[in-house]
Structure 1
Amino acid sequence: MPRHTKKPRRLVVDGRAYLWTLRHSHHVLDSGLSADCRETLTLYPQPVGTGGPLRIVFAEGPGRYVPGGFPMGSGDVGYVRGGSLNLHEPGAVRALLDAASARGWQPGELWAVEVDGWPLLEAAAAARAGDARSRG
């Protein structure tokens, strides 16, 4: 049975559980084209009440891609000439969580925290590439 795309997924890192979701948003222009596309990855520390959510936002911009569908895959974000991740992959989510933690985010923060995902992407993509090399 396929997974329901809007149902939060579970990730456990160093004994701490998180639920995570991925959402795409954009504005529709009068022409019908999409503009201002963004992917928002949200991690919710568990159990509920032990910390506020972490929102990692990837907004489109020069030299970046945040596709809204065909021909790119859902959840793909990256630099035109650089690192990329598929935000549907648990390993990519883990790498972004690790990068956010390395930059000072703490899962026990009581309020929601929103961070720009682009400064985290290169470190997370490099970590994923290193993981792939160590398995291969």
Structure 2
Amino acid sequence: MARRRRRLVVGSQRFVWSVGHAHDGADSPDGGRRRTGCRETVRLWREDAPGHLAVVFEAGADAFPHSGAVRRPDAQCLNLNEPGIVRALLDEALAHGWQAAAPGRAQLDGWALFDAVVGRHAGRGDDVGTDPRPV
């Protein structure tokens, strides 16, 4: 299934983003395949730049990804389909040194950004927006 690509407008810059859920597979003793780990991934890139970013939320003992959202045992949750949450992820990625203009692919651990994203999103009242034109 194709991932839906959406635009995020930040000032004069336009970013494209998508959210995906994936599972790892492993061979099982009966010769079939079984699902092992799962993860949510937010992919971001600026329209006019070569850099791509993947913010990955891996499942773990204290981490629960679920198709479009991630939740911790303390019940804090991020809806990765919300433009405001994606904007906060983008801001944190930039604060951690991601450069959209640099070629190549970068990956960040989404759980390491979780608390800062919650804080950024809670206090936001700025220019978060989407561009309605199809990507």
TM-score, with structure 1 as normaliser:
0.78
Hey, which of these two has a bigger chunk of strand by percent? 2
| Partner Cα distance (1:63, 1:7) in 2 | 28
After superposition, give the CA deviation of every residue in 1:12-64 in whole Å (9 maximum; x if it has no partner): 113111111111001357598743110111012112xx231111011001111
| Partner Cα distance (2:88, 2:78) in 1 | 10
Q: CA RMSD in A?
A: 2.3
- 1:19-38 equivalences under 5 Å are 19-27=16-24, 34-38=35-39
- 1:1-136 equivalences under 5 Å are 6-27=3-24, 34-47=35-48, 50-67=49-66, 74-81=67-74, 83-131=76-124
Mind listing any 5+ residue stretches in structure 2 that lack a counterpart? 126-135
Deviates more, 1:123-132 or 1:89-98: 123-132
| Partner Cα distance (1:127, 1:82) in 2 | 18
Mind listing any 5+ residue stretches in structure 1 that lack a counterpart? 68-73
TM-score, with structure 2 as normaliser:
0.78
Higher RCO (CA-CA < 8 Å; seq separation 6+): 2
